[in-house]
Amino acid sequence: MPASPAATAAVNHNRPLETLAPQPSYEVVFGEYFPYSVHPPVLPATVHKGRDSRRAAVVIVGGGPTGLTLALDLANHGIASVVIEADPTVCSGSRAGAFTRRTLEIMDQIGVADDLVSSGLGWNRGWTYYRDELVYESRIPDSPGQRFPATLSQLQNLIEERLVTRAEAHGDRVDIRWHSKVVAFEPGSEGARLVIEHPQGSYEMDADWVVACDGGRSTIRQAMGLMMEGQRHAGRYAIIDVRIDTSDFPVGRRWWFDPPSNPGGTLIMFKKPGGMLRFDYQLRDDEATEEAMQPERVLDKVRRHLQMLGVDKPWEPVWMSLYRASALTLPSYRHGRVLFAGDAAHLVPIFGVRGMNSAVEDAHNLAWKLAWRIRGLAGDALLDTYSAERVPAARENLRYASKGAEFMSPPSEPHRLMRDAVLSLSARHPALTTLMSPRQHAANDCAGSPLNLATADEARFSAGPRPGMVLPDGPLKRTVPGGVSDAHLTQLLGPCFTLLHFTGGAGPGAALAAAVQALDAVAPMRLCRVGTAAQPGAADLEAIDTDGRLHALYGAAPAACYLVRPDGHLLARWLTPPSAAELRAALDPVIGHQPVAA
């Protein structure tokens, strides 16, 4: 369905910092349901007479999931950062609710995935209803042997709490400054100066680099007068968490269009961990927001929908807020020494599962590039690829999510008539279900990245990821002292380049090992050899593909090599082990023309 003309106008956020006025959030916290850790205000010991005497390598503005993920990722690369957070604790409410396998793989890299998965709910199903009739049941494509579920239902505040706990374990590499608000910002050619408002005294601080992770109403973006491009979508949504016995509720998302509980509107309901249900329902166009968001009216809508489902259980409200869908992005995420990530860089409608998920991917893409720039391993050209890769990813996410937003909240009567026709006919004509709300659970690739290398072997591969794609995962055995342990391929990756050598029964290759060792001095790299159970000397390899499934998945016969970036995207691949010169040529766009140790 085409976007309405009025909706496609650019949205100008170019307003002076001092004129920013708080917008009504209609957020209500009904009671304590989550064990928030409230952090006291502590003025840094390095602050004297209104000035921080220590210049920070990186200041991250915003201590939400984007900023905390970035800080932990930078710490993995040996880079310390200061996180400036205005609040005394993590966010209230469940907020983001569905987390992709790719997000969990990134969370695993920074050490929090296992805890999130153990307390979350994995799912891959969805149900769509027109009025009160089930018209479509969807399944997210999946493959066996995966370490993480296709999608995880979890609470954003719990995720943030676990990220904070992990950050505290990093000691001085992650300095979270609670109760701290940026009130003035001056970027320069060598960094930036920030003025921080703090309960125990405001102060100035300098930074070599600043990353804005401060959300949709980014202070840094506003201070720099940057304009986002895109569209606002029709429709306002009340969001509410309720606590209820969910033992007999299915795990997955359910969508209702024009249900008896919300005539003319839409409603989404899904099960959350901790005995909670999440509701997102559309406000009527003729309802004033202030009246529609009165708690008693919101709770009545939940009550009516549960009654429609025949649910007769006690329940209590936990949290509610208001959501308006926007599809906006900055044209560039790098402005000199200032970078943007997450909602500060782009606003994605929640209907595409690309809000927090894309923010986490931003952080993971940026972390290694910024770290390498700071460590002198690469120049500005590498850092420029952050924007070159993530802006197209954001635009792709916006296309998917905008289609979903317009299906959920049609911007005009013709759009609504077409949407309702699809819904009413889809039960009898399943082909029409492809027109329903699209959801993008797959990770964004970097197909157009200037870093990608198509080797002479590229066209000869019959399977496996192409340059720019994220590695597909699969089970294997990892060799450990005294034997082997169960693991997955992505667990072989780390904060460096990884050359995966699928030995296919061949020997480990001394020349290849020497080439990797020589390059490691200028581009941190390690060699991981994945063999088969039948080959001689398998115990001397890093991992064993016991059933040959990974060799087939990667088109790896006879001895293919995959060069993987620190963020898990493929840089290049060869059917046979590359020479030292071929490896170096693949790395040239990353590190430039630095000499390699003999």
pLDDT computed for residue 529 by the predictor: 93
CA terminus-to-terminus distance, the chain: 60
Judge whether residue 63 has pLDDT over 70.
Answer: yes
State the average pLDDT for the chain.
Answer: 90
Burial class (CB in 10 A: 0-12, 13-18, 19+), 93: buried
Confidence of residue 441 (pLDDT cuts 50, 70, 90): low
Cα separation of 62 and 86, whole Å?
8
State the alpha helices, DSSP H only, in 33-84: 65-76
Average pLDDT over residues 337-343: 97
* Residue among 326, 323, 357, 353 at smallest CA distance from 342: 357
Phi, psi of 517 (to 5 degrees): -65, -40
Question: At which residue do the structure tokens 């007479």 appear?
Answer: 49
Cα pseudo-dihedral 529, 589, 58, 213, rounded to 10: -90
Q: Residue 395 is encoded by which pair of tokens?
A: 């635009």
Cα separation of 327 and 349, whole Å?
6
pLDDT computed for residue 24 by the predictor: 59
Other C-beta atoms closer than 10 Å to the C-beta of 22 total: 6
Beta strand pairing status for 133-139 and 151-153?
unpaired
Q: Residue 53 is encoded by which pair of tokens?
A: 């005497």
Give the residue, 360 or 235, on which the prediction is more confident.
360
* Residue among 170, 141, 154, 190 at smallest CA distance from 73: 170
Cα separation of 88 and 531, whole Å?
50
Question: At which residue do the structure tokens 């990770």 appear?
Answer: 443
Average pLDDT over residues 67-74: 98
- Is the Cβ–Cβ distance between 438 and 354 less than 8 Å? no
Cα separation of 575 and 556, whole Å?
7
pTM of the predicted protein model: 0.93
Other C-beta atoms closer than 10 Å to the C-beta of 433 total: 17
Question: At which residue do the structure tokens 């959350």 appear?
Answer: 272
DSSP β-bridge partners for residue 323: 237
- H or E, element range at 517: helix 510-519
Average pLDDT over residues 313-339: 94
Per-residue pLDDT tens digits for 106-139? 999 999 999 999 999 999 999 999 999 999 998 8
Cα separation of 231 and 427, whole Å?
32
Cα separation of 351 and 410, whole Å?
13
pLDDT computed for residue 507 by the predictor: 59
Judge whether residue 523 has pLDDT over 50.
Answer: yes
Cα pseudo-dihedral 292, 295, 296, 298, rounded to 10: 60
Q: What is the 3-state secondary structure (H, E, C) of 196-238?
A: EECCCCCEEEEEEEEEECCCCCCHHHHHCCCCEEEEEEEEEEE
Judge whether residue 333 has pLDDT over 70.
Answer: yes
DSSP-derived secondary structure letter, 470:
B
Per-residue pLDDT tens digits for 158-206? 999 999 999 999 988 999 999 999 999 999 999 999 999 999 999 999 9
Per-residue pLDDT tens digits for 219-251? 999 999 999 999 887 778 999 999 999 999 999
Confidence of residue 347 (pLDDT cuts 50, 70, 90): very high
Cα separation of 506 and 404, whole Å?
49
Beta strand pairing status for 315-329 and 276-282?
unpaired
Which amino acid, one-letter code, is at 468? G
Q: Residue 12 is encoded by which pair of tokens?
A: 């100008």
Cα separation of 239 and 301, whole Å?
11
pLDDT computed for residue 23 by the predictor: 53
pLDDT computed for residue 18 by the predictor: 43
Judge whether residue 14 has pLDDT over 50.
Answer: no
State the alpha helices, DSSP H only, in 77-197: 101-109, 113-119, 156-169
Confidence of residue 325 (pLDDT cuts 50, 70, 90): confident
Beta strand pairing status for 56-61 and 81-84?
parallel
- Is the Cβ–Cβ distance between 195 and 50 less than 8 Å? no
Cα separation of 406 and 583, whole Å?
47
Judge whether residue 390 has pLDDT over 70.
Answer: yes
Judge whether residue 565 has pLDDT over 70.
Answer: yes
Confidence of residue 578 (pLDDT cuts 50, 70, 90): very high
Average pLDDT over residues 257-271: 93
Q: How large a percentage of the chain has pLDDT more than 90? A: 72
pLDDT computed for residue 440 by the predictor: 55
Phi, psi of 344 (to 5 degrees): -70, -25
Least confident span in 304-308, 372-376, 532-536: 532-536
Beta strand pairing status for 483-488 and 475-480?
antiparallel
Confidence of residue 506 (pLDDT cuts 50, 70, 90): low
- H or E, element range at 118: helix 113-119
Confidence of residue 483 (pLDDT cuts 50, 70, 90): confident
In order, the DSSP letters of 345-356 are TEE--GGGS-SH
* Residue among 494, 594, 502, 580 at smallest CA distance from 544: 502
Least confident span in 268-282, 364-378, 438-452: 438-452
Least confident span in 123-132, 152-161, 319-328, 440-449: 440-449
Cβ contacts of residue 243 below 8 Å, gap of 6+? 33, 274, 275, 276, 315, 316, 317, 318
pLDDT computed for residue 539 by the predictor: 72
Judge whether residue 12 has pLDDT over 50.
Answer: no
Give the residue, 594 or 354, on which the prediction is more confident.
354
Give the residue, 2 or 95, on which the prediction is more confident.
95
Per-residue pLDDT tens digits for 488-497? 999 999 999 9
